[in-house]
Chain A
Amino acid sequence: MPHHLFSKYSKAAMTLALACLLTGFLAACGGSSTSSSNGPVTITVWSWVPNFQQAVDLFEKSHPNIKVKLDNVGQGGTEYPKLRTALKAGSGAPDVVQLEYSELPTFAMTGKLVDLSQYGADAYKNDYISWAWAQSTQGDKIYAIPQDSGPMGMLYREDIFKKYNLAVPTTWDQFQQEAIALHKADPKVYMTNFAPNDAAAFTSYLWQAKARPYTSNGTNVSVNLSNEATQKVANYWDDLINSGAVQTIPDFANDWNTELSNGTLATWITAAWAPTDLAGIASSSSGKWRVAPLPQWNAGDNVSANWGGSTDAVTTQSQHPKEAAEFAMWINHDKTAANMLSNQLFLYPTLKSVLNDPSFGTSVPFYGGQNVNKIFAQSSAHVDTSFQWTPFQDYINNQLTVQLGNAVNGKASMAQALQQAQNDATSYAKAQGFTVSNK
């Protein structure tokens, strides 16, 4: 048997060698390089913003020498693996790519994002809200231009609060008391939903509580999901979940849509992009929703956080980095483009000029005529600015999803689950060659 195996291996090696030859042959045939052109330059843009083509058209009109090929290769979690594989393979990546803030350190780390400061992006520094700019840059390197953001707020069902004679909560304590009272009054109704699948949502709760679970500084990172502020948040939600007063289903799924529209959920702790979403998801409950600022950990405070939003970055695979940079900068900075993004594509702006424009935001019938964007604009001004991410945020968010699921399914307390996520992330980071100091 063994010698038989060996002869098999040697034959396999031969065939492998043959195959390598063949691929070399294919490569020689396939590799046709594009010749230098004087005509219009074409750049590829990956973005999952719905109807983004409208903004692209605007860009092409003002830049006759740049043609844009827009591809939607999927939302965040679908796009990143593709981008990662393409960057690793050395070809196939777009010129401009949409990235969430939390992904920027990850992709910047690979050295495959173009520093946009060489194309004059540093001139924009003071035009964007500061946390968004801070997260798009590292030192004097600018890895992306902020596109939209998600300052947080609370969408709530005014009719449910009225019916059960509850005040709109301004603190998390009040939120908890009312949650229990509400569920007691009607066991079919929950104050809100804690989505165990949504690491980003949970992270935004941490953000507001001033927990700073992640820091990263070159090859030195820290992952601390057991600090005091994180434990406060974890225990708070653990208690609420154990009391049965909050629902625990995955968000952005069919069942969740149904519960938002049929009055099962009284609030949605969410971000500025949500009002438009909700109007689509729960159209039958139009007129019943309102917006309020986030409940606070300390009465009288005014601390907000961010959830979501993204940027446009330029990859090093781009043959036309100058044009690509021009696209990323123009589309997110030009006045007409920025207005279109916020008013027609419903992206929540990161440009101060748009946020402060008195004409920004109108009354929305779905929210009983409330000027929703104004409330979020106030929230945007109070987003704590020092939050950071790790250069392997996908991994951590994945672990968080696993562990939040364990906590909600009763396999561990939330604090224990987070400790486990921290341990896993720490050993992952060490294995990847980082120095880890979990301060």
Chain B
Amino acid sequence: MAVSEQISASRKEVMRQSAKTQKNPGRHRGWTGRTIMTVIMLLFFVYFLMPLFWLLVSTTKTNTDLFATFGLWLAPNFNLWNNLHDLFTYQGGIYLKWLGNSAYYSVISAVGASFFCALAGYVFAKFRFPGRRFLFSVVLGAIMVPNTALSIPLYLLLSKVGLINTPLAIILPSLAVPFGVYLMRVYASQAVPDELLDAARVDGAGEFRIFWSIVLRVLSPGFVTVLLLTFVGTWNNYFLPLLVLNDPNYYPLTVGLAQWNAVASSNSGSQVIYTLVLTGALVSIIPLIIGFLCLQRYWQNGLTLGSVKA
């Protein structure tokens, strides 16, 4: 009752802060100014979407037309359906498997990592315990470590425990996201009022229940943000899977496509599959774009709080 009211109040406060409609004095004047600004922004819009437009156009071409016709417009032969058909049937439809792998690794990593980050961030924000400062500075410092420093020892470690060439070799390391902990800590210290926790404790709620049914709910925008960041991170990960996976059946999209690209421009095999690589690239980014569009409200709010307190 009281607690849940407070939850929704504190959530509303967070939402109000970030989702309010602004009427600030910086608002632009008239119609001309806005139009000029819109034109400028449209130019940048073209810049940001031109490569994707090129990609879209290219996937409608045959291999020959790809290199022979103007890149930013359609060729006479519309070959999109053939390319899509080839994409999903080439090498026994392995692309579909890669798509599935990417989704599998990313979902598991994202859910697991966000949960771990939420727990850790909450503890760092709301508890004072010995080692807190030290641990948190280690976590922050971890962001500065170059990935090559980790790759070899990580490989050796994974092979020691027999995890090379298994999905776990991708998922387990992806569960530790120091930046996510940082984000959740900042978010939790702002979004979770101490009074709420105190009240819940007074009501006799156990710490796990407090976390599970109160904190997690308050943290949900931050949680979704970390979820998305981790999802994108794992989905886009190239280096680690390239290193630890050998079986193409386990490849995520990034590694699979990079390998197709290597085959396309290799000296053993005469397989002209450029359009396949490009069609694969296009299809691989569609789920992410849809995801971002659908969850826009969440991550835009989540990033707010992550950034306010540097």
- Do A and B actually bind? yes
Q: A8-B134, A72-B259 are in contact. Are A89 and B164 (CB under 8 A)?
A: yes
C-alpha gap A23/B163 in the complex (Å): 12
Indicate if A125 sits at the interface (CB-CB under 8 A): no
Instruction: Contacts A91-B164, A92-B164 given; indicate if A254 touches B246 (C-beta within 8 A).
Output: no
Contact B161 A279 (CB under 8 A): no
- Mask, A368-384, CB within 8 Å of B = 1, is 00000000000000000
Query: Is residue A300 within 8 Å, beta carbon to beta carbon, of the partner chain?
Result: no
Q: Are B67 and A11 in contact (CB under 8 A)?
A: no
* CA–CA, A308 and B266, complex, Å: 12
**Which of B64, B157, B161, B165 has the most chain A CB within a 10 Å cutoff?**
B161
User: Is the beta-carbon distance between B246 and A46 smaller than 8 angstroms?
Assistant: yes
Are A280 and B271 neighbours in the complex by a CB distance under 8 Å? yes
A264 CA to B158 CA, complexed, in Å: 49
Interface size of B in residues (CB-CB distance below 8 Å): 33
Q: Are A50 and B271 in contact (CB-based, < 8 A)?
A: yes
| Nearest A-chain residue to B250, judged by Cβ | A71
Is A60 in contact with chain B by the CB < 8 A criterion? no
Task: Report whether B248 and A48 are in contact in the complex, using a CB–CB cutoff of 8 Å.
Answer: no
User: Are B161 and A89 in touch, CB under 8 angstroms?
Assistant: no
**Which of chain B's residues has its CB closest to A257's CB?**
B67
Question: Which one of B156, B164, B269 has the highest number of Cβ atoms from chain A below 10 Å of its Cβ?
Answer: B269
Chain B nearest CB from A309 CB (Å) reads 9
- A283 and B161 form a contact (CB under 8 A): no
Structural contact, B271 and A71, CB atoms closer than 8 A = no
Residue of A nearest to B64 (CB): A284
Q: Given that A71-B248, A252-B265 are contacting pairs, would A89 and B159 also be in contact in the complex, using a CB cutoff of 8 Å?
A: yes
Within 8 A of A (CB), among B159-180: 159-165
The majority secondary structure among interface residues of chain A is: helix
Contact of B162 among A23, A31, A75, A258 (CB under 8 A): A31
Q: Is A30 an interface residue (CB 8 A)?
A: yes
Q: Are A92 and B67 in touch, CB under 8 angstroms?
A: no
Kindly list chain B residues whose C-beta atoms are within 8 Å of the C-beta of A26. 161
User: What does the 1/0 interface line of A43-75 toward B look like (CB < 8 Å)?
Assistant: 000101110000000000000000001011111
CB contact between A31 and one of B138, B152, B161, B270 (< 8 Å): that residue: B161
List residues 156-214 of chain A with CB under 8 A from any CB of chain B.
Answer: none
Is B75's CB within 8 Å of the partner chain A?
no
Inside 8 A of B159's CB, which chain A residues have their CB?
A: 86, 89-92
Which of A30, A31, A75 sits near B263, CB closer than 8 Å?
A75
* A89-B267 CB under 8 A given contacts A11-B134, A280-B272, A283-B64: no
B266 touches A252 (CB 8 A): yes
Residues of B near A30 (CB, < 8 A) are 161-163
28 CB contacts below 8 A, A to B, read A8-B134, A23-B161, A27-B160, A30-B163, A46-B246, A48-B263, A49-B268, A49-B269, A50-B268, A71-B246, A72-B259, A74-B262, A78-B259, A86-B159, A88-B156, A89-B159, A89-B160, A90-B160, A91-B159, A91-B160, A91-B164, A254-B274, A257-B67, A261-B67, A277-B270, A279-B270, A280-B270, A346-B270
Query: Which B residues are within 8 Å of any A CB, using their own CB?
Result: 64, 67-68, 131, 134, 138, 152, 155-157, 159-165, 243, 246-248, 259, 262-263, 265-272, 274
A residues touching B (Cβ–Cβ < 8 Å)? 8, 11-12, 23, 26-27, 29-32, 46, 48-50, 69, 71-75, 78, 82, 85-86, 88-92, 94, 251-254, 257-258, 261, 273-274, 276-281, 283-284, 308, 346
